[in-house]
Copies of this chain bind each other. A is one copy, B any other.
Amino acid sequence: MSICILSGGVGGAKLVAGFADGYAPGRLNVIANTGDDFEHLALPVSPDLDTLMYTLAGVANPETGWGLVGESFEFMAALKALGGDDWFILGDKDIATHVRRRELLNSGASLSEATRELCQSFEVQLNVIPMSNEPVATIVSTDEGELAFQEYFVKRQAEPQVSALRFDGSNTAKAAPDALAALTADDLEAVVITPSNPYLSIDPILSIAEIRAAVANAGVPVIAVSPIVGGKALKGPTAKIMQELGLESSVHSIAEHYRDIIDGLVIDTADAASLNDIEALGIRCAVTNTVMTGIDSKRQLAEAVMGFAEQLAAA
């Protein structure tokens, strides 16, 4: 039985790590957001693919939320001294990932194939798949104008006020073939949407028509884990963006956002009072501890999601 997980970067990667701890890697397919991808310093950078890969390889830097642990920054210091762009920080080892990806793409590999090769080198056994092999770019409309995702998120530190989001290229981009295969597998048991930012990280994935249709027609429970706990985002600008988009930062808003696509929503015990409200939307709701700290809490949340999926499948 296979599990297909949709994920962005840091928050999503935590839950994926929980799945990796509790389930055989051969059962796990992770479709990653590539709307954050961009070409920087002539290198193809895929932040969410890399955060997933580094997290699953146990080499992610837990303090920064990006990059590799024990990283050095000789390159960045030298580049800065030469007047080069230094707003997006690339560690000396991290660059090797992007240079190797460049080599693989230049030699004709798809992003899926390049990702598979990189994951093998990092001894990541579960299947990390880009949502598409074609470019899809998240563009953020803000009070400072339209910003490419990394300009908004890294260069401007998510400070500008967001009025809208769009995903350039998603009208024509096809799903990566292995992403579609994961969503239509005969042995598919559940589709899991991680507590990544719904607007910045999950919507780009669902903006690809083939993926949205495959999730909607999965024929198995589709379960999201709320990124909002007690009205706040545990990390990142989710709550801030919700307010800027005129939404209440609540589990109810998350349920409404995913209403067309999910069968169940997992919310934190802090939000237990919202259970009836959510179920009134026609979405089943499970309450558990969703705050992931150590590996045990990550695995327990993964197991709670799958327990909920079994319950929904049996219903």
Contact = CB atoms under 8 A, between A and B. Distances in A.
Contacts of A94: 78
A286 B280 CA distance: 99
Interface string A79-92: 10111110000011
A75 B100 contact: no
A93 B78 contact: yes
Interface in A134-187: none
A100 B76 CA distance: 11
A76 B99 CA distance: 10
Tally of this chain's copies = 2
Contact of A42 (B81, B82, B96, B103): B103
B84 A117 contact: no
Given A92-B74, A93-B74, A79 B100 contact: yes
Contacts of A242: none
A100 B74 contact: no
A95 to B, nearest CB: 5
Nearest to A102: B42
Chain A interface category by residue count: 20 to 34
A92 B72 contact: yes
A118 B41 contact: no
A97 interface: yes
Contacts of A76: 96
A79 B99 contact: yes
Contacts of A81: 96, 121
With most chain B CB atoms within 10 A of its CB, the pick from A91, A96, A118 is A96
29 contacts: A41-B99, A41-B102, A41-B103, A42-B42, A72-B74, A72-B92, A74-B74, A74-B91, A74-B93, A75-B75, A75-B92, A75-B96, A78-B92, A78-B94, A78-B95, A81-B96, A81-B121, A82-B96, A82-B100, A82-B118, A82-B121, A83-B100, A83-B117, A83-B121, A84-B96, A84-B99, A84-B103, A92-B92, A95-B95
Closest 7 CB pairs of A and B: A78-B96, A74-B92, A78-B93, A79-B96, A82-B100, A92-B92, A84-B100
